[in-house]
Structure 1
């Protein structure tokens, strides 16, 4: 065969470097399709993110399991983010809204500290003294602000005895529930100065019992 009459098909490299008119049209159409898809994706992405992001708010929770009667410190509380739909009226968002207040009920770790389980901590009235007094019993049911009668197995007139024990003070105000050791609870109490001296002297001689005063 005459080599001058032989025809060769264009190579792949030649088609790329020298595209035909039809190929150029196909490439232009493909670029338009890709551009349109990118534009649609850019429009849909923010909408999708808006749907998946859940608004949240910060609330104050118990940092550990706490007993009723505890006066809260900054170490007792923590801040957690919760879904905004779960925030109820009375929940606190700042530590300083709960620190220094007293728990009215037991709370679990992570439980929100709402105003419903908190009360203002009692203060020491003028003319009173604050001291820790060991009393027999668990102290369950006693909360800060309660008024108590302190009794002791000491000497007193028989007519003065209550529950078979002698009254030492009938004006004790509970400030806080301190540490508990076995069957003895240490109560932080506010007492009139004269009764505080008597309680201090008697508590080292005989065990104290705290009871609620009789209702009048």
Structure 2
């Protein structure tokens, strides 16, 4: 008697190796998706970074008077988004506004400036450079030229300690006929102080006069 055994699995691919191949395909697909996801994330980050680009501008940290010599404490740096309307306006003005605080330090402000105002190149000029043989000193004064007097020449005079025949029609005698104003006047203990440069001989006279009277009249010689 002949018995036939039928192998129903004949001709089929064993399940084990097929499952392994599937797992490999899935793994490769996942790796591919991961690469794509990373690429998309990088593109998104680059796009966001582009949108967040900024430009730097310099603004006044406080209200400043015309004639002030700018220092670091007077100025602040601000960042403006490039994509904003304000940023676009400043982009078109680049070259006319300061982008670094250090570039404006030491310059003389030509106009009164409010806190937060943008500082441009047209608003400042180089500081006054007096002649090398001039002496620099702070002079107590009872009056100072109005407006932006920095860089102007002035006459320093007093009404006390004048020698006989040295007074003018107003009863004043000239202590210095060529004092160069270096900074805006400032107050110190109720007295107005003016920073000036003058010939050394004039500086000695001003020093002697100031010992007797702290008030020295200033009149512009312009």
TM-score bin (small chain): 0.5 to 0.7
Three-state SS of the structure 1 residue aligned to 2:184 is strand
- After superposition, residues 170-189 of structure 1 pair within 5 angstroms as 170-181=177-188, 184-189=191-196
State the 1:93 CA deviation. Answer: 0.3
Q: 1:138 to 1:86 in 2, by over 3 A?
A: farther
Distance 1:159 1:194 in 2: 17
Residue in 2 that maps onto 1:165: 172
Which TM-score applies when normalising by structure 1? 0.68
Tell me if the contact between 1:137 and 1:183 (Cα under 8 Å) persists in the aligned partners.
no
Q: 1:138 to 1:171 in 2, by over 3 A?
A: closer
State the 1:204 CA deviation. Answer: 2.2
Among 75, 81, 92, which residue is 1:77 paired with?
75
Three-state SS of the structure 1 residue aligned to 2:130 is coil
Q: 1:208 to 1:162 in 2, by over 3 A?
A: farther
Distance 1:140 1:79 in 2: 31
Which TM-score applies when normalising by structure 2? 0.66
1:145 and 2:143 correspond: no
Gaps of 5+ in 2: 1-39, 81-85
Q: 1:163 to 1:119 in 2, by over 3 A?
A: farther
Q: 1:183 to 1:146 in 2, by over 3 A?
A: farther
Tell me if the contact between 1:63 and 1:77 (Cα under 8 Å) persists in the aligned partners.
yes
- Superimposed CA distance per residue, residues 71-113 of structure 1 (whole angstroms, 9 cap, x where no aligned partner): 1111111111233322235211011210011111111111011
Q: 1:138 to 1:170 in 2, by over 3 A?
A: closer
Residue in 2 that maps onto 1:210: 218
Three-state SS of the structure 2 residue aligned to 1:185 is strand
Tell me if the contact between 1:74 and 1:99 (Cα under 8 Å) persists in the aligned partners.
yes
Gaps of 5+ in 1: 1-41
Residue in 1 that maps onto 2:56: 58
State the 1:164 CA deviation. Answer: 3.4
Tell me if the contact between 1:138 and 1:180 (Cα under 8 Å) persists in the aligned partners.
no
State the 1:183 CA deviation. Answer: 6.1
